[in-house]
């Protein structure tokens, strides 16, 4: 059984507090932790709180995959706490033997890809279009590594899990193609 977690660092300008957004999905892509947002007053304790919350719900750490999105110093002159967030997450992942080469998400989806992904999530009863819920699509894309090239594959994975399909038959393939045609 595998668990997918997504953690996103979001600095919201110079005068607003940054936030950490996160979620945890089980093997059937059901929420174990619904998309949550916490404001960061103390970075180290906030990161620890998020990681402890995720760790408490996962019985086997080896089955946990944590993907995160952060802004590092190579991005340019950015806030110091962005780099510190990246370091804290990496240290925790290394300490728990969970760091993978692709743990950090390099890019988020842009306009057309994000719209396609949001439409797919919405049709699969995952609310990401309600006011204040736009971040949910980003968390799902981070958790499932939905890069611009992998969007169709990730949408197919979500579709299969929502309908309880283990193996694609020709009938299921026709149904999936109909679903995907509605998105475009």
Residues 17 and 101 in one domain: yes
Residue 64 to residues 28, 46, 49, Cα–Cα distance (Å): 14, 20, 17
Residues 8 and 86 in one domain: yes
Q: Mutual orientation of helices 170-183 and 151-162 as an angle, nearest 10°?
A: 120
- Of the pLDDT bands very low, low, confident and very high (cuts 50, 70, 90), residue 76 is low
Over residues 13-28, the pLDDT tens digits come to 778 888 999 999 999 9
Q: Mutual orientation of helices 111-123 and 135-143 as an angle, nearest 10°?
A: 90
- Of the pLDDT bands very low, low, confident and very high (cuts 50, 70, 90), residue 66 is very high
Q: Confirm if 179 and 45 have CB atoms less than 8 A apart.
A: no
Over residues 125-183, the pLDDT tens digits come to 998 888 888 899 999 999 999 988 999 999 999 999 999 999 999 999 999 999 999 88
Point out the least confidently predicted range of 31-40, 62-71, 100-109. 100-109
The predicted model scores a pTM of 0.90
Residues 96 and 14 in one domain: yes
Q: Which residue has the higher pLDDT, 108 or 54?
A: 54
Q: Note down the domain range covering 70.
A: 1-106
Q: Return the CATH number at 93.
A: 3.30.420
Residues 167 and 123 in one domain: yes
Q: Mean pLDDT across the stretch 74-84?
A: 67
Question: Which residues have C-beta within 8 Å of that of residue 155, sequence separation ≥ 6?
Answer: 116, 117, 120, 180, 183
pLDDT for the residue numbered 61: 87
Boundary of a domain, candidates 48, 77, 106: 106
Residues 132 and 184 in one domain: yes
Token pair of 150, please? 């992998």
Asked whether the CA dihedral 98, 114, 8, 158 is positive or negative, the reply is negative
Residues 136 and 154 in one domain: yes
Q: Confirm if 121 and 158 have CB atoms less than 8 A apart.
A: yes
Boundary of a domain, candidates 86, 106, 126: 106
| Cα gap 9→87, rounded to integer Å | 12
Tally of domains within the chain: 2
Residues 19 and 95 in one domain: yes
């Amino acid at each position: 059984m595998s668990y997918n977690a997504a953690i996103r660092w979001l600095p919201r300008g110079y005068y607003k507090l940054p936030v950490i957004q996160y979620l945890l999905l089980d093997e059937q892509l059901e929420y174990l932790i619904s998309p949550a947002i916490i404001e960061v007053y103390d970075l180290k304790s906030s990161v620890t709180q998020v990681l402890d919350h995720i760790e408490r719900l996962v019985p086997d750490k080896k089955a946990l995959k944590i993907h995160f999105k952060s802004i590092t110093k190579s991005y340019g002159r950015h806030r110091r706490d962005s780099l510190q967030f990246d370091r804290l997450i990496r240290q925790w992942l290394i300490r728990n033997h969970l760091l993978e080469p692709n743990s950090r998400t390099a890019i988020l989806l842009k306009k057309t890809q994000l719209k396609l992904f949001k439409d797919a999530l919405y049709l699969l009863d995952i609310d990401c279009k309600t006011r204040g819920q736009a971040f949910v699509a980003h968390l799902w894309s981070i958790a499932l590594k939905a890069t611009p090239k992998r969007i169709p594959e990730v949408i197919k994975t979500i579709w299969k899990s929502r309908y309880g399909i283990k193996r694609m038959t020709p009938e299921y393939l026709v149904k999936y193609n109909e679903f995907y045609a509605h998105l475009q």
